[in-house]
Amino acid sequence: MGTYKFRLPDIGEGVAEAEVTAWHVKVGDRIEEDDALCDVMTDKATVDMTSPVGGTIRALHGEVGQMKAVGSVLVELEVEGEGNVADEASAAPTTVSNEAPERPTPPPAPSSAPTPTPAPASKPAAQRPAPAPTATEQACFPLAAPATRRRAAKLGIDLSKVPGTGRHGRVTPDDIENYLGGGDPRFAMRGGVDEIKIIGLRRKIAERMEETWRRIPHITYVEDFDVTAIEELREVLNRERKDGQPKLTFLPFLVRAIARTVPDFPHINAHYDDDAGVLRQHGAVHVGIAAATPAGLMVPVVRHAESLDAWQTAEEIARLSTAARDGKASREELSGSTITITSLGPIGGVVTTPIINRPETAIVGPNKIVERLERRNGEIVTRKVMSVSSSFDHRIVDGYEAAKFIQALKRLIENPALLYMD
């Protein structure tokens, strides 16, 4: 029998380390070739690690949430033959822990004086039960814990009037609640603290958000869009859609408006490499669509949005969103965006302050649609209005340019016939 050490492979794209997010085996398990060992997460995506050999698990290296360098050992297996290292059968199967070995407790120092044997005696004073307070003491100073006294004082309650149900007539928090409710129980009290280790995608999101907020000076601009005409167009198109076509939402039209507008604002469809001091302006429009998934926020990418019509854009958004929610989106589908849209969907909101998807220079966030009464040509009419939030990298985009870009989007959205005209 021999030992086979499975090391974290080079996953590519310059990845130097990965985070262990789940183990699928334990010490003592018998596995076959290609069985799942664990999941690791890089900056791009979660990757399944499978075993290249069959054997018995002898040791696991790394806990969930731990970062492992490329080339470091993840799993040791006992295999038929020589394995890929010298035989280590003498090592006891164990799970590797990052904790320091426990030091043995030294024996107590010898004492010259013999330990006296306690003689039978009455209980010490500290162990004797406290005498019950007299009726006079209870009336003058009712028993209650300090927290209960503070609660009563805050509510203006005289504790001497609250019947105590605790030991020796002590007034409890429940007694106060029952007193307030006329004897009927009110709301149940809750307690406890849950500690949840932040790992995997949630930790990656936290790290990216912190770095983005620290490195990019944001400027946020909000404008109201009259979406009455585009909502009417959307309703007509949805009534006439063919079998298999997805329902059109507002997003495909916003994607189209962005694709039409960015050629006039190339620094907004760009990546800023602040380490190198280089701005890379992209001809292609790859729109990231921020999507909420059970694992956290993901940004699947609609590639070459400039070449798609409304139906094609809707189909691609639906396909990518489903893949992201199901955890099946590929690394390529989750990277490479040049500008991002973030939307809260049916939850909506009046105004948001979106955070840029670094290294991009802009992000656009549509909010909920509300109906407003407006006076037009001497008449009161109802219009559908959406506030659109946007943030820009102020190192690259000046406030005036940010406003011009959003006003250009507004013109297209409010006049939807212009969206598909050259």
Strand arrangement of the beta sheet that strand 2-7 belongs to: 2-7, 73-79, 55-60, 30-31
Active site residue 24: no
* Tokens describing residue 82: 């020589």
Show the DSSP H helices in 262-370 as ranges.
310-325
The single-letter code of the amino acid at 353 is: T
Q: Which residues pair with 288 in a beta bridge?
A: 301, 340
SS3 31: strand
Give every CB contact of residue 415 below 8 A, 6+ residues apart in sequence. 229
Q: Residues 10, 48, 87, 398: which is the catalytic one?
A: 398
Q: Which residues pair with 77 in a beta bridge?
A: 4, 57
Question: CA 248 → CA 18, 313, 382, distances in Å?
Answer: 39, 9, 23
Strand pairing report for 270-273 and 278-281: antiparallel
Q: Residues 48, 168, 394, 422: which is the catalytic one?
A: 394
Measured in residues, the chain has a length of: 422
Active site residue 394: yes
Nearest to 160 by CA among 147, 177, 174, 176: 176
Task: Give catalytic residue positions.
Answer: 394, 398
